[in-house]
């Protein structure tokens, strides 16, 4: 039973490029959460998605960031026109139900913007 | 709104000594409480969780935590630490009516020395 998978594990982008981060939840899980861990900071919630729906995006920056979780395929976190301040570790977590008592985390994608 | 405060950013301790990592939270609704561990360059692993019932919760790797509602605390303890416990520890809260998103504390870096 595979856990939460994220790819790529490491991503290097130049300023102004686009970054696409993928998250495949655990089998049977239809709820995905994205978190960001900036250097020297804790983890911050970004967005909560259910299949084909964004449920809560209160933690997403207003510009350049978007997320989707299509009916088929992984959840995608997209960052357009990246800047150095976007350099961080991005984690996704999945759960089987809304408000589940446990989320299972992926290994993260470490984004470096040069 | 919910918030989590981890009172110590760094905790150095000698091997085989006891350790306590402190966590306080604030919330106007009932919450679930969690402790996660993050080893360098890895994702988060759940150590233990409090949902309801007994206030003393036992987790993996010999860790335990006690929920204290009157003090709104959820401190993590281990009677005898090992070098391999060196990692970052995060306290977190969630609630069903917030969709289950996790609100994390800033993290405590536990450093176990021989």
The pLDDT tens digits for A14-43 are 999 999 999 999 998 999 999 999 887 789
CB contact under 8 A, B104 and A95: no
In this predicted structure, what is the pLDDT of residue A93? 95
Report the gap between the CA of B18 and the closest CA in chain A (Å): 25
pLDDT digits over B73-100, tens only?
999 999 999 999 999 999 999 887 777 8
Minimal Cα distance from B97: which residue of A?
A99
CB contact under 8 A, B99 and A106: no
Look at residue A50 and tell me whether its pLDDT is greater than 60.
Answer: yes
β-bridge mates for residue B58, sequence order:
B64
In this predicted structure, what is the pLDDT of residue B54? 86
CB contact under 8 A, B106 and A103: no
Look at residue B25 and tell me whether its pLDDT is greater than 60.
Answer: yes
- What's the pLDDT band for B28 if we cut at 50, 70, 90? confident
CB pairs under 8 A, 24+ apart, for A49-52?
A: A49/A75, A50/A98
For residue B30, give every residue at least 6 positions away whose Cβ sits within 8 Å of its Cβ, in sequence order, or none: B95
Cα B52 vs. chain centroid, distance in angstroms?
16
Picking from A45, A106, A110, the nearest residue to B102 by CB comes out as A45
Interface test with A, best of B30, B36, B43 (most A CBs within 10 A): B43
pLDDT digits over A52-105, tens only?
899 999 999 999 999 999 999 999 999 999 999 999 999 999 998 776 668 899
CB contact under 8 A, A43 and B94: no
Length of chain A: 114
In this predicted structure, what is the pLDDT of residue B30? 82
Q: Which residues of B touch A30 (CB under 8 A)?
A: none
Report the gap between the CA of A78 and the closest CA in chain B (Å): 20
CB contact under 8 A, B106 and A42: yes
φ, ψ (nearest 5 deg) of residue B96:
-60, -40
Q: Which residue has the tokens 């989320």?
A: A103
In this predicted structure, what is the pLDDT of residue A99? 65
What is the pLDDT of chain B when averaged over all its residues? 92
């Amino acid at each position: 039973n595979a856990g939460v998978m994220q790819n790529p594990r490491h991503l290097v982008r130049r300023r102004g490029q686009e970054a696409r981060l993928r998250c495949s939840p655990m089998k049977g899980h239809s709820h995905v959460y994205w978190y960001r861990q900036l250097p020297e900071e804790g983890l911050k919630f970004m967005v909560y998605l259910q299949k084909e729906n964004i449920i809560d995006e209160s933690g997403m920056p207003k510009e350049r960031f978007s997320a989707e979780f299509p009916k088929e395929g992984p959840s995608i976190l997209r960052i357009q026109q990246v800047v150095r301040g976007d350099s961080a570790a991005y984690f996704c977590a999945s759960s089987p139900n809304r408000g589940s008592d446990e989320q299972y985390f992926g290994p993260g994608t470490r984004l470096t913007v040069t | 709104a919910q918030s989590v405060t981890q009172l110590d950013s760094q905790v150095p301790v000698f091997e085989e000594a006891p350790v306590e990592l402190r966590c306080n939270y604030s919330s106007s609704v009932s919450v679930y409480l969690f402790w996660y561990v993050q080893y360098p360059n890895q994702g988060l692993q759940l150590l233990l969780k409090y949902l309801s019932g007994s206030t003393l919760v036992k987790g993996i790797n010999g860790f335990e935590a006690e929920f204290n509602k009157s003090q709104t605390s959820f401190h993590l303890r281990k009677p005898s630490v090992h070098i391999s416990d060196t990692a970052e520890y995060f306290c977190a809260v969630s609630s069903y009516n917030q969709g289950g998103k996790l609100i994390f504390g800033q993290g405590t870096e536990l450093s176990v020395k021989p």
